[in-house]
Every structure is written in C-alpha cells, then in structure tokens.
C-alpha cells in the first residue's frame, strides 16, 4: 500500500513537473514570418517583434514615447547639438558571453553604416564617426544637429549584436543572431516558428519570466485568436478590431490594447506625372472640400467597430509633439459643395486606388459613399499587394489610401511624406518653407521649441492637404489570463522584460 502511495506521489510529481515546464513556455502567434533576423537587415514589423525579446537597444521608448535608458544608462548632448556621449551599462554580456562595451557600440554603428545591404544607413546617416572614450563611454559625432537620432536608436539601429559573432559568421549571422536581450536564439523553422530561450547572463535577469519563448507564424488573425482561445498559444498579436468582442467575452483571455504610431491617410497625387493632372490634384480647395465631405468617425465606427482613433494628423495623439490646436473638422457637406461650386465644378471625378485588404476596401467604399453626397465621383480601384506597392512607389495614382507604420519621433514621418525629397513623398508635394521648418525642428533639442516648430509644420501640411490623415490604428493583443506583466508601448512591440506567468 505504501509502495503504491509512493508510486502515485512520484507520478504526481512528474506530472506537476511537466506542467510547470510547459507553463514556463510563452507561445506567441505572429502574423508574418519575419525576414532576416539581423537588426541591420530587418525590414518587417514581426522581425522587430522578435527582436524585442532577442536584442536590447541603446535606448528604449516608454509608453508615453519618452526616450528611456536600456543598454545606455545616460546620454549627454553637446551644446552645439553636433555630438552625443552615451554612458553604457556595465556588466552586460552578449549571448555568446563576450562583453558589451564602447568598442562593441562602435563596431555595431560602423557595421550598420557600411554593410552593403544595411537598411539602417538612412537612420544613422547623420553619424560621422564613433569614438570609444572609455570602456563605458562612447561618443557619436554628427554632421548636423539631429535630435531624432535617439528615437532611431530605440529601434533596430540601436540594437547591439555581438561583434565576435558578427565577424565570425558574417553573412550567416541572421540565421542565428547573437545579441544582448533577455532571450537568446535557439532555432528557426522557416514559415513555422522561431524558438528562444532565457539568457541566464542577462543584465536584468530577475525580470525574465519564462524559460522559453516560441513565436509561431499564424497569418490569419482569426486563426491566431482561436488558437489562443484553445490554449494552443498564450498570446496573439494584432487581433482584428471586429474580433475584439470575442476576446472581451472570453473569461480566459485579456485584451491588451494601446495607442499606436501608425496612420492611415488618403494621399492625393499633386505632382507625380500625368495622374497629378486632376481637379483634386491641382486644387487644394477641392481637397479641403473632400475632407469636409467625409466623416472620420463614421469610417472608424463602420470599418473598425469604433476601435481605432479617428484623427486628422500624421502624428498620433500619443506623441508629445501632437498638435491639439488642429482639431479634425466636422463633416460639412454644404460647405464642401460650396467649395466645389467656387472651383467652378459640380461633379469632381477621382480614381481612388488601394491595396485590396479588408480594412482598406471598407474604408474606400465608405469614403466613396460619403464623398458622393458632396459631389465627388470616386471610382474605386482595388489592387493586389504587389501592384499596389509598385503603383504607390511610382506615384501612379490619383488618390491612394496609404498606411504608414509611424515612428516614435515625428521627424521621420513628416520628412518622409512632406519634404520635397522625402522617401515616401510619392505624390510629390513640395514646399520649401516646410522643408526649412522640418530641418530646423530636427536640430532643436529644446522640446517646447521643437513642439512649436511641429505645430507650424502641421498647419502647413493641413492647409495643403496633399494627404488627408484618416485614423490611427490601435494595437490589440489577445493574451491568456495566465500571462502577466504585459505593457503596451505605441510601437506595438511586445517587451518581454517583466512578462511572466501570472498566479
């Protein structure tokens, strides 16, 4: 009898051991299979999502979009704004055991600036040279005052990889990245999963709550959610707004939501080739009429169950540089009609192109219906992704629903879309005065003065309306109640420091 009791106890112990072993694995469903797992090469959101567990950065951003220390404990701008000196955290090691120091920082910045297919070159362009002043002091010399640099360093450009591994593995580095984050790389099965395990030597090891993290590639948002509901995953990123009720109604799940940086906007071709030669492309008053003809709140309510944020600016309200003085105008069909009449027209034709996704298709049809009441004949042109991107980049559209992921700092967004040579300025809007304001703002270290400059920029682009911002998507993660410590940050990346099994 006693022996049976012992055996039972042993079985129970093994059983509970198995349970606790599986409980210490965090399984996360992600929408896309990430591209190269090398911070210098990565170009996808899900890549950044995985990096958040794998690679620490010099600095991080907080939920209120302030720059906070990570691998750098402090930083000092020179009085002329042309250099910044970082004080590095001590006793930090990479996953291969090598030390993180000023030489490693210098190596990383130079690697990202010189690697042939590095995608970080533009983000680090203002850095002329890097000086290792001491083991824990590193100085970046800049070609011009460039305040947004810190925001850039809070993303992939600031991720530090092991110089030893990067040198030895060279081109194969992305196959098994070695960084200094809370979790280290174990394996990757293409189009299936990425497995990480806890890095015991992490500088902040006490905050690492799981033994293992596995990212599963599950492209369909509904499937991701049902796998979380079934207990097959602990967390799903980007749950569809139309599925949120399901998450809220499920007693085993928690909905984690937060404001994002992204913006969806209606771009008008004002200067790119033949398609700019339209009434709306030539006349800012007609674009204002178009803005007055649509109701952003209806778009948000009908297309996204009211779960997003209807707004008229490229910079989201979560940013300290959001300009609350420029409110979205309320819908005014009569005024829109008056503006159209003043332009000597009654019906204004326009062709609206968009990528044929569920959300954009709905937004396009809502816009078409509302704008028709004011006198706009909107012809819809849905396109599959490749064609849509190609036409977008070539400015081959009259109007286009653009989706921009946003950045922590206003500079990259506004420069990309509104400066004459901006990388996303595919509709070719150009205003030299605005260019001057944007250049001045990126060199202004004083936050209040910088904010005033961005208010001026906002006023300028909202008058020209080469682009009509429509809404900011919010982030929605569905997690099982067993996962504790999730903090939503506007960049939509899941930081795993502090995330642990809840009791």
Partner 1 sequence: MSTIEATPVPAPMRAGRRSEIRRLLREPSAVIGGTIIMFFVVLAVFAPWIGPYDPNTPDWMAIRAAPNAAHWFGTDDLGRDVLSRVIFGTQASLAAGLVSVTVAVLIGLPFGLIAGYFGGAADMVISRVADALLACPFLVLAIALAAFLGPSLQNAMIAIGISAIPVFVRVSRAETLVVRTEDYIAAARAQGLGHFAILTGQVLPNVLAPTIVQATLTMAIAVLAEASLAFLGLGQLPPAPSWGAMLDVARQFLSEAPWMAFWPGLAIIALVVGFNLIGDGLNSALNPRQ
On whether the CB atoms of residues 409 and 151 are closer than 8 A, the answer is yes
CA 465 from chain center: how many Å? 24
CA separation for the pair 267, 278 (Å, rounded) = 13
CB of 132 to partner 1, least distance (A): 54
Residue 66 or 248 with smaller CB distance to partner 1: 248
CB of 158 to partner 1, least distance (A): 38
Residue 302 or 452 with smaller CB distance to partner 1: 302
**Intra-chain end-to-end CA distance of the chain, in Å:** 35
On whether the CB atoms of residues 410 and 362 are closer than 8 A, the answer is no
On whether the CB atoms of residues 365 and 292 are closer than 8 A, the answer is no
Residue 25 or 356 with smaller CB distance to partner 1: 356
CB of 306 to partner 1, least distance (A): 10
Residue 63 or 382 with smaller CB distance to partner 1: 382
CA separation for the pair 327, 438 (Å, rounded) = 21
CB of 353 to partner 1, least distance (A): 11
Residue 369 or 394 with smaller CB distance to partner 1: 369
Residue 12 or 274 with smaller CB distance to partner 1: 274
CB of 228 to partner 1, least distance (A): 16
Beta pairing partners, 69: 59
On whether the CB atoms of residues 58 and 89 are closer than 8 A, the answer is no
CA separation for the pair 1, 212 (Å, rounded) = 39
CB of 351 to partner 1, least distance (A): 11
Residue 131 or 390 with smaller CB distance to partner 1: 390
Q: Which residues contact 192 (CB under 8 A, 6 or more apart)?
A: 216, 217
Residue 174 or 218 with smaller CB distance to partner 1: 218
CB of 298 to partner 1, least distance (A): 5
Q: Which residues contact 57 (CB under 8 A, 6 or more apart)?
A: 70, 71, 153, 154, 155, 158, 159, 160
On whether the CB atoms of residues 216 and 190 are closer than 8 A, the answer is no
List C-alpha distances in Å: 285 to 112, 338, 339, 340, 358. 44, 10, 7, 8, 31
CB of 144 to partner 1, least distance (A): 46
Residue 144 or 384 with smaller CB distance to partner 1: 384
Q: What angle do CA 422, 425, 428 make, to 5 degrees?
A: 115
CB of 374 to partner 1, least distance (A): 15
Residue 101 or 398 with smaller CB distance to partner 1: 398
Interacting residues with partner 1 (CB under 8 A): 222, 240, 242, 245-246, 298, 301-302, 356, 358, 361-362, 364-366, 368-369, 380-384
CA separation for the pair 3, 139 (Å, rounded) = 69
Residue 383 or 455 with smaller CB distance to partner 1: 383
Which has the closest alpha carbon to 96: 38, 188, 164, 159? 164
Residue 178 or 388 with smaller CB distance to partner 1: 388
Neighbours of 474 (CB within 10 A): 21
Residue 302 or 338 with smaller CB distance to partner 1: 302
User: Of all helices (H) and strands (E), which one includes residue 104?
Assistant: helix 102-114
CA 167 from chain center: how many Å? 29
Q: Which residues of 21-34 are buried (b: 16+ CB within 10 A; e: fewer)?
A: eeeeebbbbbbbbb
CB of 364 to partner 1, least distance (A): 7
Tokens 């590193």, residue located: 138
CB of 372 to partner 1, least distance (A): 10
Sheet holding 212-217, edge to edge: 183-189, 193-198, 212-217, 25-30, 235-236, 474-480, 253-259
CB of 263 to partner 1, least distance (A): 23
CB of 204 to partner 1, least distance (A): 41
Strands (E), 335-398: 348-355, 376-383
């Amino acid at each position: 009898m006693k022996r049976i009791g012992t055996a039972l106890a042993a079985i129970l112990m093994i059983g509970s051991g198995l349970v606790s072993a599986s409980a210490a694995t965090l399984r996360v469903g992600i929408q896309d299979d990430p591209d190269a797992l090398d911070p210098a090469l990565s170009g996808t959101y899900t890549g950044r999502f995985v990096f958040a567990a794998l690679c620490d950065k010099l600095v991080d951003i907080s939920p209120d979009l302030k720059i906070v220390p990570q691998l750098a404990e402090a930083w000092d701008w020179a009085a002329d704004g042309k250099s910044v000196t970082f004080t590095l955290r001590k006793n930090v090691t990479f996953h291969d055991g090598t030390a993180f120091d000023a030489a490693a920082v210098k190596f990383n910045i130079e690697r990202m600036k010189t690697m042939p297919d590095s995608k970080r070159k533009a983000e680090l362009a203002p850095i002329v040279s890097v000086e290792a002043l001491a083991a824990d002091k590193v100085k970046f010399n800049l070609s011009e005052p460039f305040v947004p640099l810190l925001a850039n360093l809070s993303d992939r450009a600031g991720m530090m990889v092991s110089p030893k591994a990067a040198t030895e593995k060279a081109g194969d580095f992305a196959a098994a990245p070695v960084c200094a984050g809370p979790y280290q790389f174990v394996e990757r099965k293409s189009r299936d999963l990425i497995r990480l395990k806890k890095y015991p030597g992490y500088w902040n090891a006490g905050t690492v709550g799981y033994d293992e993290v596995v990212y599963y590639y599950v492209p369909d948002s509904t499937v991701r959610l049902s796998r979380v509901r079934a207990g097959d995953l602990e967390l799903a990123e980007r749950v569809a707004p139309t599925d949120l009720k399901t998450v809220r109604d499920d007693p085993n799940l928690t909905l984690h939501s937060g404001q994002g940086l992204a913006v969806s906007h209606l771009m008008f071709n004002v200067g790119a080739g033949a398609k700019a030669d339209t009434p709306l492309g030539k006349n800012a008053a007609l674009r204002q009429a178009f803005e007055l003809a649509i109701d952003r709140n209806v778009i948000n309510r009908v297309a996204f169950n009211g779960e997003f944020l209807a707004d008229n600016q490229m910079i989201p309200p979560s940013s300290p540089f959001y300009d609350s003085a420029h409110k979205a105008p309320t819908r005014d069909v009569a005024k829109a009609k008056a503006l159209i009449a003043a332009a000597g027209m009654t019906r204004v034709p326009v062709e609206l192109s968009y990528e044929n996704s569920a959300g954009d298709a709905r937004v396009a049809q809502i816009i078409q219906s509302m704008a028709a009441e004011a006198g706009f004949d909107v012809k819809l042109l849905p396109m599959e992704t490749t064609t849509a991107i190609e036409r977008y980049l070539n400015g081959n559209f009259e109007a286009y629903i653009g989706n921009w992921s946003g950045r922590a700092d206003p500079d990259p967004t506004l420069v990309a879309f509104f400066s004459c040579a901006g990388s996303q300025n595919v509709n070719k809007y150009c205003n030299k005065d605005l260019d001057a304001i944007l250049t001045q703002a990126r060199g202004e270290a004083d936050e209040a003065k910088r904010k005033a400059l961005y208010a001026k920029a906002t006023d300028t682009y909202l008058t020209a309306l080469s682009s009509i911002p429509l809404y900011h998507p919010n982030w929605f993660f569905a997690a099982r109640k067993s996962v504790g410590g999730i903090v939503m940050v506007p960049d939509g990346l899941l930081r795993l420091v502090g995330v642990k099994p809840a009791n």
